[in-house]
Every structure is written in structure tokens, then in C-alpha cells.
Amino acid sequence: MVVPVTALAADESYIVKRGDTIHSIARSYGIPPAVLAERNGLNRSFHIYAGKRLIIPAKATARRTPSPTEGAARNVARNTLPRSIQGAIDKAPVRPGRWQYIVIHHSGVDTGTVKAMDKYHREVRHMENGLAYDFVIGNGSGMGDGEIAVGRRWTQQLDGGHLASEAQNKVAIGICLVGNFDERRPTPRELDNLQALVEALMVRCKLTSRAVKTHQQINIVRTRCPGAKFPAKSFLDSLQSPRR
């Protein structure tokens, strides 16, 4: 007979490894990134660096799973896309060298659907091809939390409509996250699936992490998009360029 033994849990510490993010570490322990960040006194950028020691709240240690950057399983453990989304990425007739950038936007409103965005872009913005973006990621209001929708600009490899410059729209893939990130942060699932989507597109289009920009960074007209509370630096730092 085996008698189960229980003990009071204590906080653990974790040494940040190269490629780790607050989101990947929090996910491995099954806790919200905001909880981990608050426990360690991090600011809203969630910035961490290799060698930093983090405190893991006691309740998280019992349900820990391996960190995405531990051992040889590092790349396997990273987020994977739904098969239908990966299939849409793989099947699109991408011309070599066609895409030079991947640009991240927010919708600027708390709820949204692809249908509503498409209608707005057709009827108000007078865009012949409708939805200005190649991909949309939901936040749980109007679309599922982290749900990825593929637009016809990607499937048919049409120019984008998400930047102020026509020349940039010819070479830049647009991804829009539903939400107003001047008021609140993206959901953890939005960020996780954004990372998986961006890294899959980097592989498909033979781009490095340097090609990934926020709307604010690349637009020729000043914009706040994707908002002050989008963790641009920590997200961009977390991206892994595909191996050549």
C-alpha cells in the first residue's frame, strides 16, 4: 500500500535562459504572465534577460511542465498552430522574396469579428478587397480567445491594406489582434498564438525576426497602434528566427 504524502509548497526560483519570455515561463508553470510579473516586480513591458532569477509562486510549482527552452525539446515545446491555419500558410502561393515584413496591429476596439472588419473596410474605407489584414486574432469577445482567422489577402496573396504606404502594403503581411491595447494588454492566448503565427510566417516567407514590426514602428504616418500596453519589446525579443 502506498500512502500519499503531502507537504506545504514553497516558492521556487527559476533562472531565465536565452529565448525565454515571461509568457513562455508562465505557461510552463500554468500561471498567468501578469501574476509572475507582479510577483517579480516587473514593469508592464515584462522585460527579462538571460541569467535573471525569477521567483515562481508556490502554487505553480506543483503543476509545472518543462520550460520551452529546456533541453533538446526546446523547439518542439513551443506553441504550434492549429492544423488548418498551418495548412493555409503552407498552401498559399507565396512568391520567393514577395514579403519583406510582418506587421502587428490592434483593432482599437474591445470586440470584433472578421465579418465586421471586412464590412467596415469595404463600406467605410472603400477597399475593394475588404479586410485589410492577412490574419486576425480574437480576444474572446466576438471571436474566440486566441482564435486565428485567415483573410483572403493571404490565401490569394493580395497586397495588404493595413499601412499608409501603397509600396509598403505590397511587401508587408498584416496581423490584427482584437482589442484596444492603449487601455489593456492583449490576452495571454492572443500573445501565444501571435508568436506561433509570426514564427510560422517567418519560416514560410524566409524572414528573420528583424522583419517583424509593430504598426507604429513601420508606418510612414505616426500612429499609436498597436497601443501603449502591447509588450512590443519583450514580444519581439522572444521571436526565434528560423534556422537556415
pLDDT of residue 25: 85
User: How much is the pTM?
Assistant: 0.70
pLDDT of residue 62: 43
pLDDT of residue 76: 34
What are the structural domains of the chain? Answer: 12-76 (3.10.350.10), 83-238 (3.40.80.10)
Tell me if 183 sits within 8 A of 138, measured CB to CB.
Answer: no
- What length is written for the chain? 244
Residue 48 and residue 43: Cα distance in Å, rounded? 10
Cell of 108: 482599437
pLDDT of residue 60: 53
Residue 146 and residue 239: Cα distance in Å, rounded? 18
pLDDT of residue 81: 86
DSSP state for residue 96 in the 8-state scheme? T
pLDDT of residue 8: 40
- How far CA 141 is from CA of 11, 84, 85, 113, 115, in Å, comes to 35, 22, 20, 8, 13
pLDDT of residue 72: 33
* Chunked mean pLDDT (size 10), the chain, 244 residues: 40 82 81 81 77 78 46 44 92 96 97 95 96 97 95 97 96 98 94 94 94 96 95 88 60
Task: Count how many Cα atoms sit within 13 Å of the Cα of residue 173 in the half-sphere of its side chain.
Answer: 31
Tell me if 89 sits within 8 A of 204, measured CB to CB.
Answer: yes
pLDDT of residue 45: 65
